[in-house]
Structure 1
Amino acid sequence: MEQPAKKRLHISHRTGTILGLVVIALAVISVLYSGPHEVEHDSLFAAPPTPTVVVTNPVASTNLHQTYDYNGVHIVFTKAEMASKFSDDFKHGGNYVVRISLNTTNNNQDTIGVDYFNLTRLILPSGQSVQGKVASINAAVYPGKPQSGYVDFPVNDKIDLSQIKLQFNKTVLQ
């Protein structure tokens, strides 16, 4: 008994080429439409680019020269700024934000944890103590790795930044 011959689909060379181009075009469109899934970097080992912070309605700015040593970590509070909003601040509180910038250096051999958010308070000219709403600085302070960041404080009214005080770990800084 003979087997019936299998039917083969014959596609012309032109039709095959068109079909191939359509498949490639769909693949390219799918990749472009989905976009990159990660931030692109200039180098494999480079840090991601830091976005530019936009300050809305800047009110005041003053330099600070207050320091505190916490468990071998030297903390320097460098600047106070007040504005309606900072673009990298996603937590809303009062009508204004007071941003306190700081730098740290760990003088220990071990990594030290510093809870900047809960340890730092802003003392307003009225004497009111305000807890921060966000801290950008990493709580882990590595030996020999200085870092910078800020703590933001919500306030309802404009204040004189030259009259503020900082409290760190229950100590009012002078």
Structure 2
Amino acid sequence: MEQPAKKRSFISPRTGTILGIIVIALAVFGVLRSGPHEVEHDSLFAPPPPPTVVVTNPVSSTDLHQKYNYNGVNITFTRAEMASKFSDDFKPGGTYVVRVSLNTTNNNKDTIGVDYVSLTRLILPTGQSIKGKVASISAAVYPGKPQSGYIDFPVNDKVDLSQIKLQFNKTILA
């Protein structure tokens, strides 16, 4: 009986192993090279500074002193600003944006969830109620951890901010 002829490989097993190691080394080098940049490493030790917000066509602003206690969370609305656009607003809605800034403090022992967008309404001088479109403030309010942020409201016409009211959880704030 005749034995079948052995097929000859194009490369030797030793050469194949060396080529495999080189390919793996190149892949590891590529992954490490494409990892976080030097600036991002610094963020492990300190948070990066917040980006500067650019306001396009600022119209007006006013200070607010409206407070509400929601399930032990003190919410203070501090300022209203109107502009055509804010650079950190990625959900355009109306011709203008009214941005309402707020601060919160949780006096509870437990974390409280607050859905700012669905609970807050902007009441225009005409009586029209406008729902917020986006909030920058976290819905999770941790005990003893104050936070600040804003809620954006889309409007189609310029508004006299000194005449606006806020409604939170169906209560109109004074």
TM-score normalised by L of structure 2 = 0.78
Post-superposition shift, 1:37? 6.7
Secondary structure of residue in 2 paired with 1:40? helix
Distance across 2 between alignment mates of 1:168 and 1:39: 40
Give the superposition deviation at 1:55: 0.3
Is residue 127 of structure 2 the alignment partner of residue 127 of structure 1? yes
> How far did 1:44 drift?
2.1
Alignment partners' CA distance in 2, 1:79 and 1:120: 14
Letter paired with 2:150:
Y
Matches of 1:167 and 1:38, distance apart in 2: 46
Distance 1:162 1:40, change over 3 A: same
Residue pair 1:41, 1:47 contacting (<8 A) in 2 also: no
Higher mean Cα deviation, 39-48 or 148-157? 39-48
Unaligned runs of 5+ in 1: 1-25
TM-score for the superposition, normalised by structure 1: 0.78
1:26-84 deviation line (CA, Å, top 9, x unaligned): 99xx68x9574796153523223210000000000000000000000000000000000
RMSD: 2.4
The residue identity in structure 2 corresponding to 1:92 is: P
Q: State yes or no: 1:141 paired with 2:147.
A: no
- Which structure 2 segments of 5+ residues have no match? 1-25
Give the whole-Å Cα distance in 2 for the aligned partners of 1:35 and 1:118: 39
Q: Per the alignment, do residues 143 and 59 of structure 1 end up closer, same or farther by CA in structure 2, a change over 3 Å counting?
A: same
